[in-house]
Amino acid sequence: MSKRLLIVAHTPSPNTQQLLQAMLRGAHHPDINDVFVVHKPALQAVPDDIRACDAILLFTTENLGYMSGALKDFFDRCYYPVLEEKQGLPCAIVIRAGHDGTGTRRALDTILTGLRWKQVQEPLVLRGEWRDGFIAEAEEAGLYMAAGLEAGVF
C-alpha cells in the first residue's frame, strides 16, 4: 500500500508559495512511485490528516520570533487528539525566516519532543534575504522525505 506524506504549510507570500511548490515537486520526483503526497494549508489541516499520514513535513515562516500563528493554531487543534496514536511519526521542519529562525526552531523542537515525533532530517532554515538557491534546498527537503518514506528508512 502507498505511504502517505503530509505537507502542512503556511505560505503567506509569493516566495513561500514558491518554496511550497518546490517541496511538492521534490516529493513528486518521477523516481518515487509509491508515495501519495497531500498538502494542507496549516489553517485547514485537521487531526485526521495526521492520523492518515506516515510522515509529515512542516513549513512555516518565522514571525515575531516564533512560528506563524497558523502553524501554532494547527498544533493547538491537533496536539492532544493525536498525542497517543502518532508517537514516532517521522517529521521534518522547513522554516523561512527573514533574519533569524532560532525562536521558531526552538519552539518546534519543544512541541515535537512533546508529541514524540521523530525528526528525520536537520531542520532547514532558509534565512535572510531571498535567494533563488532556497528553491533547490526546499525541493531536496521534499524529495528526502518522500524517498525515505518509500525506502522505509524512517
Q: Which is nearer to ligand FMN, 78 or 135 (CB)?
A: 135
Please tell me whether residue 61 binds ligand FMN under the rule CB under 6 A: yes
Q: For residue 7, what are the CA distances in angstroms to 20, 22, 29, 146?
A: 9, 12, 15, 11
Cell (9 digits) for 53: 499520514
Q: Which is nearer to ligand FMN, 39 or 96 (CB)?
A: 96
In the complex, the smallest distance separating the C-beta of residue 109 from ligand FMN, rounded to whole angstroms, is 16
**Span 85-104, contacts to ligand FMN by CB under 6 A:** 96-101
Beta-strand ranges (E) seen in the chain are: 3-9, 35-41, 55-63, 66-67, 90-97, 118-119, 124-127
Q: For residue 150, what are the CA distances in angstroms to 44, 55, 71, 86?
A: 26, 11, 26, 19
Q: For residue 23, what are the CA distances in angstroms to 43, 106, 126, 136?
A: 19, 22, 13, 9
Question: What's the rounded Cα separation, in Å, for the pair 121 and 37?
Answer: 18
In the complex, the smallest distance separating the C-beta of residue 19 from ligand FMN, rounded to whole angstroms, is 8
**Span 111-130, contacts to ligand FMN by CB under 6 A:** 130
**Span 11-50, contacts to ligand FMN by CB under 6 A:** 13, 15-16
In the complex, the smallest distance separating the C-beta of residue 149 from ligand FMN, rounded to whole angstroms, is 27
Q: Tell me which residue has its CB nearest to ligand FMN.
A: 98
In the complex, the smallest distance separating the C-beta of residue 142 from ligand FMN, rounded to whole angstroms, is 18
Contact residues: ligand FMN, CB under 6 A:
13, 15-16, 61-65, 96-101, 130
